[in-house]
Amino acid sequence: MITTATFLVLFIANGQLSLSKAQLHVGFYSKTCPSAESIVRKVVQQAVTRDPGSAAVLLRLHFHDCFVEGCDGSILIKHVVNNDERFAAGNAGVGGFDVIDGAKSELERLCPGVVSCADIVALAARDAVVAAKGPFYDVPTGRRDGQTAEKSNAANLPDVEDSINTLKSKFREKGLSDLDLVLLSAGAHTIGTTACFFVVPRLDAKDPTINPEFFQVLRSKCPQGGDVNVRIPLDWESQFVFDDQIFRNIRNGKGVILSDSVLYQDNNMKQMIDSYVVTNGSSKASFATDFAKAMVKMGSIGVKIGIKGEIRRICNATN
Ligand code: HEM
């Protein structure tokens, strides 16, 4: 005979089973908000048309979201006091919040309380990559939004001056391999810009790994005592196009920030970088395909699914 207690146990066990099975999947909103992905795409395309630089900004936003408390949109939260994650030193220059807010308000009109801000960030990063002529990839969705956003949680973000071993271990802590580090950090820097702030210390220290001619170019853009907020391309030859040029640059001593250049000092990573450089029309590995895989991996870091977290009504505040 099944008593109420047995039924409850069965029910809970079943609940736990389905919870443990809960995971991100492609097309999570196909029934609950069928136009979710197309709306995000449209908003991103409009933003990139207005300002081609916003593709890089949106890609970076996803990284900075995922590396603190998982991909849960916590970076979007903004309280009155500046004590939120987004104001941490390691998040300086991170942006794209207005684009995410714009997509969210359209989605709230259409399907209120359904699409998470964390998913909008992940989809927007993919659409930004596509807008920069990078690969399209399916984004598994179903993330829920985090309910905390402490500045102190962002203290351990990868830093431009971290040693190669520190960078590797910061990625490993998130379940990402050395190859993911190459693809996601150096690879993503195929688009976008950096403030001179991150370049000047390298120049002042006369970093010997910088190609001498390129050193002069960088020095002229980021002079000693100059404005450190001036922005220069991370991928010198093709800042708006998602391509393998960044790897050629790193190989030739033309990496702009230290954390990109330092990868080439490691034998394994050197080989990985070389494998993505297209010579005679082909390369041993496909940067586009591998980058897409690494993005999906990064997008699953510490996600809140099932009954965890919430679906925020607006992205810059918890409900
Ligand atoms: C080793 C880890 C990483 C370090 C140390 C690092 C460091 C930096 C720095 C210093 C900047 C310039 C910021 C500014 O001046 O506003 C930057 C920009 C950027 N980062 Fe990274 N990054 C890392 C990994 C990543 C990853 C994993 C992604 C994405 C998958 C990414 C995407 C970008 C993009 C697209 C930009 C350009 C942003 C813009 O144009 O505003 N980075 N990164």
CATH class of 176-297: mainly alpha
For range 221-250, the mean pLDDT: 95
Task: Report in angstroms the alpha-carbon separations of 55 from 60, 95, 132, 135.
Answer: 9, 11, 7, 13
Confirm whether 79 is a catalytic residue: no
246 Cβ contact partners less than 8 Å away, ≥ 6 residues apart:
186, 187, 189, 190, 234, 235, 255, 260
**CB-based pocket (< 6 A), ligand 1:** 53, 56-57, 59-60, 63, 93, 158-160, 167, 184-185, 188-189, 191-195, 198, 234, 257, 259
Strand-pair partners of 150? 84
pLDDT at residue 18 is higher than 50: no
Tell me, what's the pLDDT at 69? Answer: 94
What 3-state DSSP class applies to 232? Answer: strand
Distance 17 CA to ligand 1 centre (A): 38
Q: For residue range 270-296, list pLDDT tens digits in order.
A: 999 999 987 766 767 799 999 999 999
User: What confidence score (pLDDT) does residue 77 get?
Assistant: 95
Residue 278, pLDDT score: 76
Provide the pLDDT confidence category of residue 176 given band limits of 50, 70 and 90. Answer: very high
pLDDT at res. 87: 86
Helices marked H in 222-303: 245-251, 258-261, 267-275, 287-298
Q: Is the pLDDT of residue 22 over 70?
A: no
- pLDDT, one tens digit per residue, over 76-111 is 999 777 888 888 889 988 999 999 999 999 999 999
Neighbours of 259 (CB within 10 A): 21
Candidates 112, 135, 111; CA nearest to 125 is: 135
pLDDT band at 12 (very low <50, low <70, confident <90, very high): very low
Q: What ranges do the domains of the chain cover?
A: 25-156, 176-297
- 87 and 41 in contact (C-beta within 8 Å)? no
The CATH T-level fold of domain 25-156 is Peroxidase; domain 1 (1.10.520)
